[in-house]
Structures are given as C-alpha cells and as structure tokens.
Structure 1
Amino acid sequence: MLRMKIVVQVKLMPDAVQAPAIGATLRTVNDRATWVSGVAFAHGVPREYELRKHTYAELKASGLGAQAAQHTIKKVRDAYTTLKANIRAGNLGKPGSKRRVKAESKPIAFRPDAAHPYDDRCLSWQYDAQTVSIWSAVGRLKDVRFACSPDALKTLREYRKGESDLIERDGVFYLIAVCEVPAASVNENPAGFIGVDLGIVNIATTSTGYRAAGRGLNRHRKRQIELRRKLQAKGTQSAKRRLKHRSRKEARHAANINHIISKKIVTTAERTGRGIALEDLTGIRERVRLREDQRAQLHSWSFHQLGSFLEYKARRAGVPLVYVDPAYTSQRCSQCGHTDRKNRVDQATFACRACGFLVNADDNASHNIDRKGKAVWTAGRESRVPATP
C-alpha cells in the first residue's frame, strides 16, 4: 500500500511543575546545539560520526541523556546539510553577496525555543488518557496532558511513526508528530479535470464554478499591513514582540484559508471522479509586472502553500493532479481558442475579439487550464505506455 507522510500538531498542557521543566529542557538542548555547531564549524563541518567523537562526551557530561545527545548532534549536522543545499540552489544569493557571506562566515546558531526531535525512547504516547511521557533535563515527566481534535487523535493512534518535534510558541508548547497515512491509488481514468485559476482578487476560481473570493481577505490583510506599519513606527521592544505575534497570527489565518479552499476543491474532484489542473506558478514573483499597490498583495499571499495543500490532499484522496504552463490562459478564448491581449478587457472581464464570447476573466482562465490539464494527463499516459512491437 502506498503511504505518505503528514504531520499532526498537538498542544501540550503541562502543569505548574512540568511547564518550567519543559522550557528549561528546550533552552538546554538548543544551547548545547549552538555549542556543537561551533565545534562543527571549527572542524570544517565533519560527518555526523566524526562530529560525535568531538562532542558526545561533553554533551553527556553536561547532563544530556544518550538519546538527547545523539539527536542534538544530528540536528546540527542536518542544519548544515540544509544550509549547503540552500547555497548550492542559490537561495542565499550569488557568491560574494552579503547574505551568502554572512551565512558562510559564522556557525549556525539555534534559538532557545527552536524545535527539538524526540524518538520513541524519549517520548511515549498514551492516547486514551491523552497524555505523554517525555524526557526532560530534570528527569522523565509523566502524564503531561495534550489537546487535539478527534480527527488528529485518530490519525495519531493509527498512523504515528517516527520522530516528534517539541517546539515552543509564545510560551505554549506543541508536539509535531510524523504520521504515515495510506495514500489512495490514483484514479488513472479521470472523467475530466477541474481547472484552478489562482489570483489576488479571487484567490481560486475553478472550472466547476467554485470561487474563493478574496475581497474579505484583502480587507483583513490591509488592516494587518496598517497595524504592522504603526508598530514598526514605534520601534519599542514591546512593539517588536507584537509584530512577531501578529506575523504568526496572520500566517495561521492564511494557512486556515488555504486549507478550506484546497479541501473544497479536492472533495469536489473526488466526488465527480475528476483530476485537478493547476498553473505552474514557479517564479511568478519574478516574472509578473505589477503596480506598486499590487505588489504587497502578491507577496503576502502563499500561493505555493495553497498548491502544496492541494497536492497532498489530492494524493491522499487518489485524485490525479497536474501542473500546466500558465502562458496565455488569461488571453485565450475558452470557446473559440482565439488568443489576443485585447481579449482581457480589465481584471474581471474577458471579451473575445473573434467570437464575442463574454465571461468573467477568471472563469475563462480556469476553463483553459482545465483543457491544458487534460492534454498534459493524456500526454503523460501515452509516454508511460510501451510501444507496440
């Protein structure tokens, strides 16, 4: 059976004795991780086995358990592997750029509340009681309560496998557990595709008629921008704390909206036996030309996150999903195929210069994406069929 990895987040609810112990544990392991990082940097970031020879004894002497010490070393080595991959991919700029030089010139430092991994020897779950037993720097903490939704609890009980990360946000502790859930077999013969057009005024418009309007969301984002501007102007420590809090709150709000939209689209595709066609928007922020007042709207919404939510939900439901070239989807008439920049009268209106077809511009684009999706899927299937001898 095909399986896919997802994460489930639960909120820890420690008592007055457990909470300080958990907080002290996170600060301790991250302080030790920063020290290990300095050792790794000094030795040219050796492999994990060699790094262990330089640091393991000291970590044990500082009070970390065997497993906690191993996880601390592995966390540091993984951080440098990620840094190297980002440098190789050009995510930190070109050689000699200020950002890249800064990243390469000093050891990686870990925040006091950064995530720390726990395996089954350091953390055990009691699902019926909704408690965990967790290792801490002051000893094993038992009967630490946690809260989550019934669906999340069911997923944890049936599919949790591997490590869980302990993190702290605004004084609240969370466990993020890895679960391996079964992925449905992909429907190889979809009854068509649902084209999804992503935008700013309408976050998502589908060829089935569903439209996730962005008017209310854009108002919300404008309010957040104004609040951030006021807090930035103050520049006090309390204002900076509020800025971080509001940033996380807005990110959670955006993720919730993206979850709602993606769930509706995937549910419709699953019910109707169709696939999903999405525009490949890789590099859209660099390609598009926008007015100054539009740039904040484009850069403040996570289209990539919405696409990733659609992708993993579709995989779990067995719904085929394809990415198509977005070129001319907003200029091509979905009725007669005539392509002309002048067909797009304004943001909301599409009027074909050839056949006179008049429709909402996003609806027209979604139907073009729908057709491109069918073509991509057909071409992919034909490429997988062996040639007849």
Structure 2
Amino acid sequence: MNQLTTISLKLHLYPTDKQSNLLEATMEQYRLACNLVSNYYFDHIFQPKQADLQKSLYHLIRNKFGLKAQMTQSVFKTVLARYKAVNNQISKKPYKYQDKNTGEWYKEKRDLTWLQKPIRFNRPQYDLVSVRDWSFVKPQLSINTIATREKVNYSAKGFEDYLKQGKLGTAKLVKSCGRYYLHVSCTLDNPKFNKTTLKHVVGIDRGLRFLATSFDEQGEVSFVSGKKILATRRKYKRLRQQLQSKGTKSAKRRLKAIGQRENRWMSDINHQVTKTLVDKYGTGTVFAIEDLTNVSFATEKVAKPRRYEQVSWSFYQLEQFLAYKAELIGSTVVKVDAHYTSQRCPKCGVIDKQARNHGTHEYHCKHCGYTSNDDRIGAMNIQLLGTNWVTNEEITFNQLRANQE
C-alpha cells in the first residue's frame, strides 16, 4: 500500500535582462493585487469566500494591475491561503491572562478577529498554476508574465529524479539575493510504512551539546556534535550585536542579510543531519523522537551568554525534515512522551532526577550502578518508547513514575 507525499522542489532560474524585468514587474503587480484583496477581506470581517472575492474584485484587479485571468484567480487563492495559515497559527497560541481578583490564569482561544490590521504582502511573489502559467518546454521553462510567455533557462540540481517520478502542481516564483527561483510542489507515490516490514527502531535525542544522538535496536549509538554549531551561532550573535549598536540604515540592511544567511545555514545543517540518519537506516525504520510540544527549556538555569543558543535552534524544522525524508523511503517518525527520558535508568527502570550530572554529562544509577553519557541515556529511553509503540504497548514514563511512587 502506498501513500502520497508532497514536497517542494527548488528550481534555479537564469532569465535574460529582458526576462528579469518582466518577472519583476509580474511579481510586483501580483503583490500589490494581494494587498488590495487582503484589505478587502479584512474590512469585510473575513467573511467573503473565493466566489465572493471574484464577483467583487475580479475586473478591478485585471484593469488596475494588468493581471491575466488565471493570475487574478491565483491572487484570491494566495490571500485566502495566507489568512488560513495565520488563523491556524494564532489558534494554537491562546491568549493568557490573570484574573486580578483571584490570581487564577485563564486561556482564551484566538482567531482572525484578533488581527488589528490586514496581512501585508511585502515580498514580491507570484503563484503559478501548472500548464496554464508554467510548464516544461525542454530544455527550458515556459513562464507566463503580464506581457508575454517566456522560455527561461533553469537548473534542477538535486531534484532531477523527483521531476521524473512525481506529479508537479502549483509553483511559486520568488526572488532571493538577486536570484530567481521557482518552488514547485511535487506529489510522490511512496511505499507506506508497514510494521510487518520493520527493520530498525531508532531513538533520537535532540540537544545542543550533541545536536542529535541516535540509538538503535542493536545498541549502536552515534553523536552529531554541536560544538562547531554553537561556535558559529555565537559568531552570528556577535555580528548582530555590533550592527545593532550602530543603528544605521546600512547596518539594518546588513542585519537582515545576516539573519537570512543564518537561517539558510541552520536549514542546511538540519538537512544534513536528517539525510544522514535516513540514508543510514533506510526503509522500514521507526525513528522515535520526543514530543516537545509545550516543552520549554529552563533558560533561567543557563548562563546568560548562552541563553540565545539554548532556545533558538530550530528543532521543529529538524523534526519536519526527518518526517518527510522518512516518508519518501517507506519509514516513519513517531513522537513519544518526553517526560523522564533523561532521568530514567534504561537498565533497571528506576527514575532518579539526581542520577544525572549536568556538569560531567554523565548518568549514574544509584540503584544498579549503570553509568553512561546522559545524551546516550536519553536516546536509549526514547528508543524503548519507540519499541513500545511498535508493539502497541502505549506505556509512558509518567505511568512508570506513578507506579514507583
């Protein structure tokens, strides 16, 4: 039995000067049209549907911005999709407030009505429908613009196999660092994970001293050191501090560029780590990771100069990369209970907070005498919970803790 997985392919475009001007003009007009629709949607209290927007704004957008019919329809879809995404984000983060009389804390679920102003589309962009707005005309890409349809040179380094195997859909044209890219959605038909073909159960502990520590059913452990990563992050932090102290316009532009470069570097590291894990274990693997939802790091216990590094690495992105890479080869990622994974002895099962020495990064069980690296202990316990998931034994360490007490 197979499953469908959608990924985004990044194609690098090489337009001529004339084509660059056309692409730039199309993206800018598309952006302005999105802002007009966003204002209208906000003013009408988020009620209009796509058919309503089309009825009210279709001819206005075509006449004012010179967009073609399909481009105009795409504008409506882009705006509605952005509001839907924002609504999902803010609904997951309820507003917290404290009653002044009782001192009790309350949560109030939020929705789009909490927005104080319309969503703005600041970066030029352009969403293209497959065939109507873009297509392959070997060896080039055919892209529709507000003037003519242009054949543009491109490269798809690293995505060649996906272009042959997958079903291509909507694309997004973006400009980054003076270069043009076409992000194409690609749907792949992959083998679905089946417990009957299980080969490996791997526990992965995420952290900063070691970005990822893995432990499998054979007892093999591997570490991805975070030492160089922390050094690089501190370098970026010092650069930002220097630029922030200047406060000039050029410093702010440089500050933005550095932030974007750091984000790309972080993404690259997460891609490398997850690709290494998936390539190593292959098809039929269960990758068990901690469910870090609503888990916050105790930054007050961390030295102030290191607090930035402690809370700002994108562990969620690493999780997403691992999940989709595992799906592509017929493996899966499961989230397990994060409680006590660094406090439980994997040999005798005793949970003891004092057994872990943060200074030496060692775990020493006073009950059975077992000693090991604390990151390895975490990966071993996560691997055990992954094994429980495979055997349908939904046992958490919270339950074990309750039984001990």
TM-score past 0.5 threshold: yes
User: 1:106 matched to which residue of 2?
Assistant: 117
Aligned ranges 1:259-270 → 2 under 5 Å: 259-270=271-282
Give 3-state SS (helix, strand or coil) of 1:359's partner.
strand
1:139 alignment partner, one of 148, 151, 154 = 148
Give 3-state SS (helix, strand or coil) of 2:234's partner.
helix
* Percent of pairs with identical residues: 30
2:329 alignment partner, one of 317, 325, 328 = 317
User: 1:84 matched to which residue of 2?
Assistant: 87
Give 3-state SS (helix, strand or coil) of 1:134's partner.
strand
User: 2:35 matched to which residue of 1?
Assistant: 34
TM-score (norm 1): 0.89
Letter in 2 for 1:13: Y
User: 1:181 matched to which residue of 2?
Assistant: 188
For residues 92 and 26 of structure 1, the distance between their equivalents in structure 2, rounded to whole angstroms, comes to 36
Give 3-state SS (helix, strand or coil) of 1:327's partner.
coil
Give 3-state SS (helix, strand or coil) of 2:358's partner.
coil
Moved more, 366-375 or 73-82: 73-82
2:339 alignment partner, one of 327, 331, 337 = 327
Deviations 1:11-37 (A, max 9, x none): 111111111111111111101111122
Q: 1:197 to 1:106 in 2, by over 3 A?
A: same
For residues 328 and 278 of structure 2, the distance between their equivalents in structure 1, rounded to whole angstroms, comes to 10
On the 8 A contact 2:128/2:134 being kept in 1, the answer is no
For residues 93 and 117 of structure 1, the distance between their equivalents in structure 2, rounded to whole angstroms, comes to 40
For residues 343 and 332 of structure 1, the distance between their equivalents in structure 2, rounded to whole angstroms, comes to 9
- Structure 2: runs of 5 or more not aligned: 98-105, 395-405
On the 8 A contact 1:37/1:107 being kept in 2, the answer is yes
CA shift at 1:216, angstroms? 0.5
Q: 1:217 to 1:167 in 2, by over 3 A?
A: same
User: 2:50 matched to which residue of 1?
Assistant: 48
For residues 370 and 379 of structure 1, the distance between their equivalents in structure 2, rounded to whole angstroms, comes to 14
For residues 29 and 342 of structure 1, the distance between their equivalents in structure 2, rounded to whole angstroms, comes to 59
For residues 375 and 61 of structure 2, the distance between their equivalents in structure 1, rounded to whole angstroms, comes to 58
TM-score (norm 2): 0.86
User: 2:170 matched to which residue of 1?
Assistant: 163
For residues 135 and 380 of structure 1, the distance between their equivalents in structure 2, rounded to whole angstroms, comes to 55
CA shift at 1:199, angstroms? 0.6
For residues 314 and 112 of structure 1, the distance between their equivalents in structure 2, rounded to whole angstroms, comes to 32
User: 1:359 matched to which residue of 2?
Assistant: 372
On the 8 A contact 1:115/1:168 being kept in 2, the answer is no
Moved more, 194-203 or 259-268: 259-268
CA shift at 1:288, angstroms? 6.8
Q: 1:261 to 1:101 in 2, by over 3 A?
A: closer
On the 8 A contact 1:188/1:320 being kept in 2, the answer is no
User: 1:385 matched to which residue of 2?
Assistant: none
Moved more, 216-225 or 341-350: 341-350
Moved more, 194-203 or 321-330: 321-330
For residues 199 and 269 of structure 1, the distance between their equivalents in structure 2, rounded to whole angstroms, comes to 21
Moved more, 63-72 or 76-85: 76-85
On the 8 A contact 1:118/1:166 being kept in 2, the answer is no
Corresponding position: 1:204 with 2:212 = yes
User: 1:193 matched to which residue of 2?
Assistant: 201
1:249 alignment partner, one of 254, 258, 261 = 261
Q: Give runs of ≥4 in structure 1 deviating > 4 Å.
A: 91-97, 99-103, 286-289
Q: 1:93 to 1:251 in 2, by over 3 A?
A: farther
User: 1:20 matched to which residue of 2?
Assistant: 21
On the 8 A contact 1:322/1:377 being kept in 2, the answer is no
CA shift at 1:258, angstroms? 0.9
Q: 1:78 to 1:344 in 2, by over 3 A?
A: same
